[in-house]
Structure 1
Amino acid sequence: MKKKIAVIGSGFSGLSAAAYLAKAGNDVHVFEKHDHPGGRARQFTTEQGYVFDMGPSWYWMPDIIEGFFADFGYKTSDFFEMISLNPQFEMIFSNEKIDVPESLGELKIVFEQIEKGAASQLEKFMQSAKFKYEVGMQDFVNKPCHNWAEFISPKIAKSALKLDLFTNFRTYVARYFKSDKLRTLMEFPVIFLGASPKNIPALYSLMNYGGYALGTHYPLGGFYQLVLAMKKIAEKQGASFHFNKTVERINTQTDKVKSLTIDSKNYEFDVVVASSDYHHTETLLDREYRNYDETYWEKKTFAPSSLIFYLGVNETIPNLKHHTLFFENDLDEHIDCIYKKKWPEKPLFYACCPSKTDKNVAPLGKENLFLLMPLAIGINDEEVVREKYLTEMLSRIEKHTGMRDLQSTIEYKKSYCVSDFMSDYNAYGGNAYGLANTLGQTAVLKPKISNKKLKNLFYTGQLTVPGPGVPPSIISGKIVANEINKIKN
């Protein structure tokens, strides 16, 4: 017997859950507070003709994303064209820059030029990272994580030592490379897992493989093409989408959710899936039905928020790649500021210029420029402070590209920061990436995907398993859908 299911939110986890639940024959309704899908991965177009992806821009782990489409009999190429970036990105240091080429073979040459013997070390690192990727992205991340018993299997037991769960990432990278620049290059992918490399398990070297070895890609038309494709798949399975709909309350009866109050009207459902911010979702419940109290969330280590600028530049910017990391300053100093809840004195930042690859995201002869600086959650982000950091970022881009007075070429500007994440997504503390993937917040130690007191309320997304990022969010939706599809009426 099919269930009537509500999905709150249409980010990647919500889209994924809706598709899998509808495929199983359920009557699925997705409620989204904005006027189009995507959550943090929304897109907007300006009057001048610039098209900005609002959030994710690194298309990594393409096999995981492809796996979603395969589950429904499709390929990503049925929906959008993918470009493999070469170079994948450029990392700028104070006195040098490193291009990360498309192929791992070429990357080994780059490593050897910087440090003698580093090519063979990179080969060893990637062999180990590949093993972690294959075990981690298959046997680990697909678990609902109700309890540790799920991880008891001969394969996982045999793999335990090789997964380096109890070695920190910094120590692990240092075993392979002496060069500070190479270490920084290898540590970079874990920054958005939410903590310093010295507090992240070495297991996450799997991200180096998922990025550097499998390549960095770009869907023509922007990352939003993935959102649109997933929505189409969900609709093809029978899911219905309702936009400009705000869920105001989750109503209960004994040990179940009875209905949702949406724009002052009550709608009954058999099951509810919250792809919305976990903490916010729980505030829609009476206190006695919440999984966690405020103290629980206050003690959690969150991944960063971000200061973002969307800039339309009315000239072409020379010597700038699609992805550029400005790492002229010390990584640890910036990370320490994030966890001391203060603005960084010597920030690192990331620049994305998709118009270098895609002529459709900016008018001819102009550039689409997206700037992002990791930042503490819950911090004061008034406009004058945002502008101060924009000035610094622009000056460093000018130095790198040789362009003068970049500020005067900006014909469109929009900033986005902590308070915007809070107002648009009800994000706890204005977080951008969910909970940090520290050892103490991994797997079973993350917030649970099911409500402990209400049999038909489930949670999905970056604040629960498996964690932050686009591929993990897609997997999260599938995990929850599988759990619901097991329920017998």
Structure 2
Amino acid sequence: MKTKKAIVIGAGFSGLAAAATLANKGFKVTVLEKNSMAGGRARKFEANGFTFDMGPSWYWMPDIFESYFACFGKKVSDYYKLNRISPSYKIYFGPGDEVILPTKLDEIYELYESIEPGSSGGLKKFLAESEYKYRVGIGEFVRKPSHSIMEYFHWKIAAAGIKLDMLSSFGKYTRKFFKSEKINRMLEFPVLFLGGTAKTTPALYSLMNYSDMVQGTWYPDGGMYEVVAAMEKLAREQGAAFMFNAEVTGFETEKGRVNAVLLENKRLEADFVVASADYHHVEQQLLRKDKRNYNEKYWESRVLSPSSLIFFLGFNTRIPELDHHTLLFDEDFEGHADSIYKNPRWPEKPSVYLSCTSRSDNSVAPEGSENVMALIPVAPGLEDNEEIRKKYLDMVLMRMERYTQRSLREHIVFERSYAHRDFEQDYHAYKGNAYGLANTLMQTAFLKPKVRSPRLKNLFYAGQLTVPGPGVPPAIISGQIAANEIINASLKNKP
């Protein structure tokens, strides 16, 4: 029997997962990556003795990673070492007002009691319901290809769907348990950073709070890129081949199929294609108009998750006031969310996330130094220029100095910024988005862009603009979904 050729476009998490899954089933897999290394948004770079992860920095849902490696008879520990971060993170609300989230549940209950007397009972109930959402959501929902609503017409799923609070907003849901606005802000931050607001995101996503408080926040020694390196190594072990600096320029199609993927000076024949690059770019730039699933009007109507303005900063001093994860929520939280989703504009007083992995890992910065990634979620599609970036760097440093009560500017020995135009250039990201589609009810499951092209039978999509959605674990699952669709189509012999 002839070995089927599968081409995977993009070596981010979804592309790596698709490649390994297909290669494991005997497909001849070639991964095409436009950049010089794997990882997509999760690449890394080194400068002046500092190592910076360029994208994802939170390691949540550890069971998803374990489940992925188990598909190949492997364990996470075969490839990288995980450490649980303690405390999980710190949230600064203003002078003398900060919350440090401990790792032990009993201590978390005590923390909530100190903020809102009597709230520990509500937290126990909230976490029990969040665990149910996590178990059912991961077990029954997120791994479905979501071709149509009919996939969800099963009594078990229908019954579960009621308990999942799909029609209730996240903000309304948390306020059933807690009166304290501080507690609600603490629970809402993953929503803002992963693509939505508490008012528009379904309550289903409280499952993230279960992972946060019960499963914990983890860190791979060496940084998040260790996960990328592990997944690339695993894919190679399964037989996948990689081509870097290999930008796809188009497709050769005939009779409702992709016959070949085109590079600048190369033509690669394919029996199946997984497009894990930006969905919008693949459709609008690489496919002829009559082969597209969606037109530009459709994409304009989508609610995108935020882009990000990121500063990679190397300091030649230790900053003990920072934790591995520090969130500065001492300004207008609601106004910041409004500037992303309601009235897109550069925020006046943004919330700021600081990742300082050198607080947990001595290998990522020179001795006596710190590597800081400062991230501001911002609306996609905004004007991005050096003047704007300089303004916000000054703002970030002012906020850091206000928080630490010390001068930091003169200790900067390395500085690099990254925003919309970089996302567009490096990843062809639609409107410079960082995370994909926002997690709104009308962009959930079968309402997301389809995994399988209806016009080209052997073209499949993976990544953050299709199911299940934004985030590292969903991206891995997305790659598995696309690969399994190809495997099933191949077995039926009717791709």
Shorter chain as denominator, the TM-score bin is over 0.9
Q: Which residue of 2 aligns with 1:346?
A: 349
Are positions 1:30 and 2:26 aligned together?
A: no
Aligned-pair RMSD on alpha carbons?
A: 0.9
Secondary structure (helix, strand or coil) at the match of 1:280 reads helix
Amino acid at match of 2:76: T
Q: Distance in 1 between matches of 2:438 and 2:257?
A: 31
Structure 1 stretches of 4+ with a deviation exceeding 3 A read: none
Determine the C-alpha separation between the residues in 2 that align with 1:311 and 1:459. 35
Per-residue CA deviations over 1:324-382 (Å, capped at 9, x if unaligned) read: 00001222210111122210011111000000000000000000000000001110111
How far residue 269 of structure 1 moved from its aligned partner, in angstroms, is 0.7
CA contact (8 A) 1:354 1:361 kept: yes
Q: Does 1:254 align with 2:255?
A: yes
- 2:94 aligned with 1:91, yes or no? no
- The range that moved more, 347-356 or 154-163, is 154-163
Matched, 1:362 2:361: no
What is the aligned partner in structure 1 of residue 174 from structure 2? 173
**How far apart are the structure 2 equivalents of 1:433 and 1:241?**
25
What's the offset of the Cα at 1:7? 0.2
1:310 pairs, out of 312, 334, 341, with 312
The amino acid of 1:73's aligned partner reads G
Give the distance between the partners of 1:356 and 1:403, measured in 2 at CA: 18
Unpaired runs of at least 5, structure 2: none
Which amino acid in the other structure matches residue 243 of structure 2? H
Among 462, 480, 485, the alignment partner of 1:483 is 485
Name the amino acid aligned to 1:454: L
Residue type of the alignment partner of 1:355: S
Separation (CA, whole Å) in 2 of partners of 1:454 and 1:311 = 45
Deviation at 1:13, TM superposition (A): 0.2
Match of 2:437 in 1: 435
> How much has 1:393 moved relative to structure 2?
1.2
2:401 partner SS: helix
Q: CA deviation at 1:263?
A: 2.1
Judge conservation of contact 1:196–1:332 (CA < 8 Å) in 2.
no
Provide the C-alpha distance between the structure 2 equivalents of 1:354 and 1:44, rounded to a whole number of angstroms: 14
The alignment partner of 2:406 has SS state of coil
In the superposition, the TM-score normalised over structure 2's length comes to 0.97
Which residues of structure 1 form unaligned runs of 5+?
Answer: none
Separation in 2, partners of 1:193, 1:394: 24
1:383 aligns with 2:386: yes
CA deviations over 1:101-150 (Å, ceiling 9, x no partner) = 11222111100011111111111000000000000011000000001111
Distance (Å, rounded) in 2 between the aligned partners of 1:337 and 1:271 = 41
Q: Structure 2 matches for 1:183-194, cutoff 5 A?
A: 183-194=184-195
* 1:138-287 equivalence runs, <5 A: 138-282=139-283, 283-287=285-289
1:402-481 mapped onto 2 (5 Å cutoff): 402-404=405-407, 406-481=408-483
Does residue 109 (structure 1) correspond to residue 110 (structure 2)? The answer is yes
State the 1:64 CA deviation: 0.7
Please give the alpha-carbon distance, in whole angstroms, between the structure 2 residues aligned to 1:229 and 1:380.
36
Residue type at the aligned position of 1:468: P
Tell me the SS of whatever aligns to 2:489. Answer: coil
After superposition, the C-alpha distances for 1:278-327 in whole angstroms (9 at most, x for unaligned) are 00011201100000010000000000000000111111112110000000
Q: TM-score, normalised by structure 1?
A: 0.98
What residue in structure 2 maps to residue 20 of structure 1? 21
SS in 2 for 1:198: coil
Letter of the structure 2 residue corresponding to residue 192 of structure 1: F
1:72 CA displacement: 0.8
| Kept in 2: contact 1:15–1:477 (CA 8 A) | yes
Shift of 1:388: 1.0
Report the equivalent of 2:132.
131
Between the two proteins, the alignment pairs up a number of residues equal to 487
Distance, in Å, in 2 between the alignment partners of 1:318 and 1:204 is 33
CA distance in 1, matches of 2:199, 2:224: 31
CA distance in 2 between counterparts of 1:329 and 1:212 reads 25
* Bigger mean CA offset, 156-165 vs 217-226: 156-165
How far residue 188 of structure 1 moved from its aligned partner, in angstroms, is 1.0
Aligned amino acid, residue 195 of structure 1: G
**Contact 1:84 1:215 (8 Å CA) reproduced:** yes
Whole-Å separation in 1 of the counterparts to 2:46 and 2:196:
33
Give the deviation of 1:61 after TM superposition. 0.4
Asked whether the 8 Å contact 1:318–1:403 carries over to 2, the reply is no
